[in-house]
Structure formats: C-alpha cells, structure tokens
A and B are shown apart, each in its own frame.
Chain A
Amino acid sequence: QVNLLQSRAALVKPGASVKLSCKASGYTFTDYYIHWVKQSHGKSLEWIGYINPNSGYTNYNEKFKSKATLTVDKSTNTAYMELSRLTSEDSATYYCTRGEAYWGQGTLVTVSS
C-alpha cells in the first residue's frame, strides 16, 4: 500500500532554514509526482509545488518560489522540501502528497526564538 512517511516535528529559529523529508513506499517512486501542501494552524490548505522524481523537474506556486526548494533522492525514494529564511508566518504543518489521493502524516514546523 502507498505510504508517505514524513520527518518529525521541527523547532527552528527565525531566519534559519529547515529541510523536511518524505519517504515513499508501496509504489514505484519515479512514476508519480510528489506535491507539498502547507496548512497553517486552524486554516485551510495551500499548494506549494511539485517535483517529478524521475527528472527532478519542479513547479512552484508563485507564492512559495522564494521560500521552498524541492528535491528528491531516487536511491532512497525520498523527497525533500527545504524552507529558507523562516519567519513566524512559516509555522505550519507541511504535508507531502502523491496527488490529492495519498498524504503523509504531516510535519509540524514551529518557528520561534
């Protein structure tokens, strides 16, 4: 069965960066794009972007182009999202998804000094 296992919660300082991971299993990793979605506390969902694990091609929501960088490691079936220059506005739960059908358990990022 398809499973997306995300990294644990992170507490990071303002101005720092954080790299989240999403390990895929149960299917051929390179056959499907991996998407990332942001959910601020108590709020709705925002689509950040996707990566094609086969080619490394990425496509970002304009809002997140200077915030997020998506990469993959095909050897470990893992996708990554690095968030840079963090502020309190970046405090949220971040999900990796395989389309809208399969979701990871989410990683809570808290930005605080």
Chain B
Amino acid sequence: DVVMTQTPPSLSVAIGQSVSISCKSSQSLVYSDGKTYLHWLLQSSGRSPKRLIYQVSNLDSGVPDRFSGTGSQKDFTLKISRVEAKDLGVYYCAQTTHFPPTFGAGTKLELK
C-alpha cells in the first residue's frame, strides 16, 4: 500500500497566521490518465471529514481561497493563509491513485 507521510503531526497557530502542511507519498501519485489523485480533507471536532481540495490544487465549492494546494509526483503541500477559528481541526491528505486508497496520519491544527 502507498504510505502517506504527513508533517508536522500538530501545529499551534495564532488567528491570522499562515501555515503549511506537508504530505509525502511512498510512490508517485500520477495516474495513467496523467492526473494526480491527491486530496486534502479537514475533520473538525466531532464531525465527518470534509474534502477541501481535490487533485492537488482544485478547491471544492465553498472553500475559501485562503486554502491552496501544490505539489507533484510524491511531494505535496497544503497552505492556509490568514487562519481563522473555523479552520481548526485535523487535516488529512489522501491518495486515490493507487489501490487501496490511503490516508495520511493527520495534522492537528490548534490555536496557540
């Protein structure tokens, strides 16, 4: 299975600060169709995960442009600019290029 390594495991931030989360995969996530199926999800406390970004850099509907995703092959980054209180929770990267789909261990974003 593809191993997804997220760092850091946790982040303490002040409101208004910017942060970045790294996600590295054990194999390239480029599929045979040329697309890269790397996604970012946020799980707020007590809630189901919610997808924020799909295929590396595409924002889901309603996701503010303070969120951005970059990367290629095996190395990906989620950046959150001007963190707001509603951004707090656990962020997961997920790959659906290879079978079975796998997830990172998560990065917990907390208030400083």
Give the interface of A toward B (CB within 8 A): 35, 44-47, 59, 61-62, 95, 99-101, 103-106
Contacts and interface: CB of A to CB of B under 8 A. Distances in A.
Given A45-B49, A45-B92, A106-B48, A101 B54 contact: yes
Interface residues of B, number: 19
Interface in B74-109: 92, 94, 96, 99-106
B95 to A, nearest CB: 10
**Most chain A Cβ neighbours within 10 Å, of B94, B100, B103, B106:** B100
Interface of B: 39, 41, 48-51, 54, 60, 92, 94, 96, 99-106
A46 B48 contact: no
B103 A45 contact: yes
Given A100-B41, A101-B54, A101-B60, A47 B49 contact: no
A43 B12 CA distance: 19
